[in-house]
Amino acid sequence: LSDSEVQKSGHWMNKEFLVEESGMNKHEVACFVKAPVTVLENLKCKILNDSSSLVVDDSEKLVSNVISIECYDYEKILFPINVAIPFTPLFRGNYREIMVKVTDVNFQSSYLTPISLEGYQGNHKESFAEVKIYRLGVLSVLSCLKKETFTVPKVGLSQKLSMDSRISLCYNPEAFSSPVTMELKIQPIEPSLISALKARHDMYHSVISTSALVRVRHLSAQPFNSSVTITLPCPPNPEKKRQGGETEHERAISATVKRVAAAYHPWAVSTSVRKDGENLGDTLKLLGHRNKEEGWKVLDDIIIQNIQNGLVSFELNEHLERFVVVRLSFLLENLYLLLFAQALEEALCSTMANVILYQKRENPYKIVVLLSASKELTYELQNLHEEGYFGPPEPTQQFPLREGEQIHFRFTGNIFASENGKDFGKVYRLIFHSQRKARLELQIKEVDEFGNHSSPHYKGTAVFYKITREMITKKWEQPLPFGEYQHQSPLCKLPLTLPKHEKLVNHPRSPKRISSDSSEDLWDNLLFWLAEELAEDNTSLFALCLPVPRSMLQLVRLKCPDNLTHQIYELLCCWKKTLPRSADKQRLLSRYLRKSGRSDLSEELRLKWQTKVFT
């Protein structure tokens, strides 16, 4: 821990705490603390990002480092003290807010509303969440669902939510025997999420749209004396807008198609095939979650009415922890509606992600391993290309991750890795937070330099395992396990290779011998030179006339979207890999260059291959 200069503010001081990043010789700002000098001298600060899984819940997003503020002598601490933590601002909309979570040694947490969210701290002007704390502990800045609290008096209440005025709750007089305090959180559901669920599961084809997921907490166990009327938006069927101009004949065809679709699907209820004209309207269903023991229920006895402009209304006379309205094009069996509710809740808590493992082009012994949200994959790949990192291997298939879940990985085969160039063979960890980067830069090398003797490369595999938050031990110090994955199936695997070293073989009767890898290096240099020459003339991939499948062209474009030189180089490398070892690559390549109208490069290629000079 080292401190920046201290600036005086009355009898208090504002102190910047700098913490050294693990394994790096640079410091970052952990926080600013404003307190009396005697208190500041008694404080110490650490960054505990390895324990970030322990400070988030499903609907929360971590947007800062996780910091620990401790003291040398508790008797010298005077409260309150002000702490300002730098965080990454993000678009919050109406439904989210920035909060600071304070967690003690026993993992009991409380939430603090920041005094301010931006401004100067020392010489820094960025986003800081400043709070007044009355106890020390572990602090983190989170993006949370907004909580709206109100009290329902005996005379009743009509409450429109400040975060979305379209959502209202109307309590009749004497709804409760005494005043009751309610807490509500609204979790919006994007149409794209519904589309993704429907694409993965045919049984949800009937779902048109849903309302937001409403989370309710009653701070009293009082039963309802009378029902509450709830109004909230549930987007209408877009096809309805087009039906205004339909003829009777077209409406009849539409109704027939719906009846046939409903009858065909095994998950549709048999009563969905009705009399003519009865199946034209959408169906609205209320799905409610009473408690953990009962889980989700379909509340068939609740009548939901369409009001106007996509608003729906219904009356409720029981406590529900959370509920959602679903609009259907045809009725579904309740079993499938319950499965939909569970899948929807899981999808709301998860983000699709990919693992990227790329090697440095100039130094294949240096790799980067990145855990990226799938929607940002193209952006992350482009950044890695700009840093000089490229595949293979290609990124993994996407998989769902919750906030704070971990990916542990290790290397098998004839390749292992190290963070510091000394300790090889460890297990490594990436912790997923949708608003923060999970990235490791590692050095790799071969385990046995005489291994993989039949291959021009050393070969290994990175094996990845998913660790849920429930599997993580509640300890602030989080050592990485080793060898504890034998009973767990891997999430995914990525192969990687290393070029073999050029070996000098001393023999009394022969000159130095060069391994076959020397020829491979010459070819890599030659192909990269050729790619640069072709890219200068803006040569398209199709114009090269190489006998490669169209899918390979598309793969190369995806791999290097913004760099024609790298596209051509990757294509040439892919083409070379398809040839047998005995093939005369230089002669074949010269022929394709002449066929592409580049006889000049064909001749230059021949000369460079003879002289082995590729500048």
pLDDT number for residue 7: 43
Q: Which residues pair with 32 in a beta bridge?
A: 16, 84
pLDDT number for residue 533: 82
pLDDT number for residue 543: 61
pLDDT number for residue 411: 93
Count CB neighbours of 94 within 10 A. 13
Q: What are phi and psi of 328, to 5 degrees?
A: -120, 145
pLDDT number for residue 270: 45
Strands 109-112 and 81-86 come out as: unpaired
> Could you confirm whether domain 516-611 is CATH 1.10.533.10?
yes
CA distance 594 to 600: 8
CA distance 83 to 135: 11
Identical fold, 148-349 and 351-499: no
pLDDT number for residue 602: 80
For the chain, the C-alpha Rg in angstroms (whole number) is 31
Residue pair 423/410 in contact (Cβ under 8 Å)? The answer is no
CA distance 530 to 532: 5
CATH of domain 148-349: 2.60.220.30
Q: Which residue has the tokens 């499903």?
A: 58
Q: Comparing C-alpha atoms, which of 194, 92, 195 is closest to residue 146? A: 92
Q: Which residue has the tokens 């004396």?
A: 225
Can you read off the two tokens belonging to residue 339?
């499965």
pLDDT number for residue 456: 84
pLDDT number for residue 522: 76
Q: What are phi and psi of 517, to 5 degrees?
A: -65, -25
Stretches where the chain sits below pLDDT 50 are 1-10, 246-247, 250, 253, 257, 260-261, 263-264, 270-280, 504-505, 507-517
pLDDT number for residue 515: 42
Q: Which residues pair with 217 in a beta bridge?
A: 183
Using CB atoms within 10 Å of the CB of residue 24, give its burial: 0 to 12 exposed, 13 to 18 middle, 19+ buried. Answer: exposed
End-to-end CA distance of the chain: 49
Choosing among 1.10.150, 2.30.30, 2.60.40, 2.60.220, the CATH entry for 2-145 is: 2.60.220
Domain ranges of the chain: 2-145, 148-349, 351-499, 516-611
Count CB neighbours of 589 within 10 A. 25
> Could you confirm whether domain 351-499 is CATH 2.60.40.2660?
yes
pLDDT number for residue 120: 64
